[in-house]
Amino acid sequence: MRMVDIIAKKRDGGELTTEEIQFLVTGYTDGTIPDYQMSAWAMAVFFRGMTPRETGDLTMAMAGSGEQLDLSSLSGIKVDKHSTGGVGDKTTLVVAPLVAAAGIPVAKMSGRGLGYSGGTIDKLESFAGFAVERSREQFLQQVRDIGVSVIGQSGNLTPADKKLYALRDVTATVEAVPLIASSIMSKKIAAGADAILLDVKVGKGAFMKSIEEAEVLAKAMVDIGTQVGRKTVAVISDMNQPLGFAVGNALEVKEAIDTLAGKGPRDLTELALAIGSRMLVLGGLVEDEQSGRAKLEEIMASGKAVEKLAQMVEAQGGDKSDVYETSRLPKAVIIHELVASEDGYVAQIDAEAVGHASVVLGAGRLTKEMAIDLAVGMVLHKKRGDQVKAGDILMTIHANKEELLASALQELEGAIVISTKPPVDQPLIYKIIG
Ligand code: URA
């Protein structure tokens, strides 16, 4: 088989065989297929798509590209969670310790930033010394000891996705249903959880811009999960404006800690409770979401959720004081305020523009090799629907370089729209699938 023929077949709209998909995944993982050929193939998939059979084959080939974890030595039903990616989406930082504090073991493999959307692994590195690479034994032992571990694609877990994910990030090939579905589900399958909760984002700051597209992605992932015997549920949630107020790694970590303490923004708290309570149901801990929600609210108020995050930070090599004293997290030197030029209501906060601005500031990558700046980003002071007066602060921008601040301000031009009438309400959760 030759990669050039496989690229051409997909470019011309053909359906790849199981063997061809296995060939390209194996070849890319072992380095015999170079980045440039894989980029060309990913772009062909972007335009031509894949059939459900091809997507399933790609998922299984990527899941099998490295070792697959057997979590059966951990007691209880293990529940995993994954988001398709959004701006200000720090839900995992809240939900993983929260659900673990309730007694459901969480063994989770997360990703780095992708395109204009941030990644949990980058955010966790805001804790100095936090190790995202763990051996299989360390990972499992930590879940046994404290009930939660969140790691990157360490060692030999889904190496194919690790490479392809980084390549898609910088080749404009992120927004393709088969590539997103196989990327997420290969990690979930290899990480071995019994049940999977998927947060499928939709809107301006999501890779899926319409509810219809989000549903196609959600169904593709739920089908793959169900076929391999994992209980899989997808929540389709809004990503037209950033989630919460903070966007940028350390800024989001601080907001997640506030949320774990029950003092977070309304939308983030609501989403974390909606997702967390369903994870408790999937894990067999409670009968229904209402009881799950009540339990999680109690855990937040008791301080146990923050304590669980602190345990996780310590277990993975960080200093738990960073959780209790968030002023120790990375901080930017330039704070710039963006103010309203007129009275009215916030009608729109373009999440994609905010995401691009955060990347420009240095919170995300423009090339695979680029180092990110954990301190930079922005904090919204107003959300969609809020009333504002001319001169009110809409957003503070945290930057470390004047020239990057200037570029970010250009990205943000027109991102916040103020109108004379309040906008119509938008739901936070549109649909549940599975
Ligand atoms: N998250 C992933 O892990 N992969 C994607 O492709 C998108 C979001």
* Residue of 121, 184, 201 to test ligand 1 pocket, by largest number of atoms within 8 Å of CB: 184
Atom of ligand 1 nearest to the CA of 111: 3
* Residue of 80, 82, 121 to test ligand 1 pocket, by largest number of atoms within 8 Å of CB: 82
| pLDDT per position as a tens digit, 195-240 | 999 999 999 999 999 999 999 999 999 999 999 999 999 999 999 9
Reading the block at residue 222, the tokens are: 């739920």
Is the CB–ligand 1 distance for residue 114 below 6 Å?
Answer: yes
Quick one: pLDDT at residue 114? 83
* Residue of 114, 117, 151, 153 to test ligand 1 pocket, by largest number of atoms within 8 Å of CB: 114
Is the CB–ligand 1 distance for residue 183 below 6 Å?
Answer: yes
Strand ordering across the sheet containing 79-83: 79-83, 195-202, 231-238, 429-433
**169 CA from centroid of ligand 1 (Å):** 10
**360 CA from centroid of ligand 1 (Å):** 21
3-state SS class at 67 = strand
Is the CB–ligand 1 distance for residue 85 below 6 Å?
Answer: yes
State how far the Cα of 49 lies from the Cα of 98, in Å rounded to an integer.
37
Atom of ligand 1 nearest to the CA of 174: 6
pLDDT band at 365 (very low <50, low <70, confident <90, very high): confident
Long-range CB pairs of 8-17, under 8 A, 24+ apart, other chains included: 10/41, 10/44, 10/45, 10/48, 11/40, 11/44, 11/47, 11/48, 12/48, 13/48, 15/51, 15/53, 15/54, 16/50, 16/54, 16/57
Atom of ligand 1 nearest to the CA of 85: 8
State how far the Cα of 130 lies from the Cα of 374, in Å rounded to an integer.
13
Q: Is residue 139 a contact partner of residue 299, using CB atoms and an 8 Å limit?
A: no
**46 CA from centroid of ligand 1 (Å):** 14
Is the CB–ligand 1 distance for residue 184 below 6 Å?
Answer: yes
Give me the mean pLDDT over the 166-183 stretch. 94
Please give the helix or strand (H or E) that residue 151 lies within, else none.
Answer: strand 148-151
* 368 Rama sector, left if φ>0, alpha if ψ -120 to 50, beta otherwise: alpha
**Ligand 1: residue whose CA is nearest its atom 5:** 180
**Ligand 1: residue whose CA is nearest its atom 2:** 184
Q: Catalytic positions, please?
A: 82, 161, 168, 183, 187
**180 CA from centroid of ligand 1 (Å):** 5
Is the CB–ligand 1 distance for residue 118 below 6 Å?
Answer: no
**Ligand 1: residue whose CA is nearest its atom 1:** 84
State how far the Cα of 398 lies from the Cα of 334, in Å rounded to an integer.
6
**66 CA from centroid of ligand 1 (Å):** 18
Is the CB–ligand 1 distance for residue 186 below 6 Å?
Answer: no
Residue 136 pLDDT exceeds 90: no
pLDDT band at 368 (very low <50, low <70, confident <90, very high): confident
List of residues 6+ apart from 35 with CB closer than 8 A? 167
Cβ burial of 425 (10 Å; 0-12, 13-18, 19+) is exposed
CA dihedral 225, 31, 41, 61 (to 10 degrees): -20
**181 CA from centroid of ligand 1 (Å):** 7
Residue 111 pLDDT exceeds 90: no
**86 CA from centroid of ligand 1 (Å):** 10
3-state SS class at 98 = helix
Residue 104 pLDDT exceeds 90: yes
DSSP string, 280-336: HHHTTS-SSHHHHHHHHHHHHHHTHHHHHHHHHHHHTT--THHHH-GGGS---SEEE
Amino acid at 89: D
Tally Cβ neighbours within 10 Å of residue 262.
17
Helix 289-302 and helix 304-315: axis angle, to 10°?
70
Is the CB–ligand 1 distance for residue 182 below 6 Å?
Answer: no
State how far the Cα of 311 lies from the Cα of 306, in Å rounded to an integer.
9
Give me the mean pLDDT over the 77-100 stretch. 95
Quick one: pLDDT at residue 340? 97
3-state SS class at 15 = coil
Domains along the sequence of the chain with CATH: 3-49 (1.20.970.10), 79-324 (3.40.1030.10), 331-419 (3.90.1170.30)
Residue 117 pLDDT exceeds 90: no
Cβ burial of 398 (10 Å; 0-12, 13-18, 19+) is buried
Counting residues of the chain whose pLDDT is more than 90, the rounded percentage is 90
Rounded to two decimals, the pTM is 0.92
Give me the mean pLDDT over the 112-139 stretch. 92
| pLDDT per position as a tens digit, 8-66 | 999 999 999 999 999 999 999 999 999 999 999 999 999 999 999 999 999 999 999 99
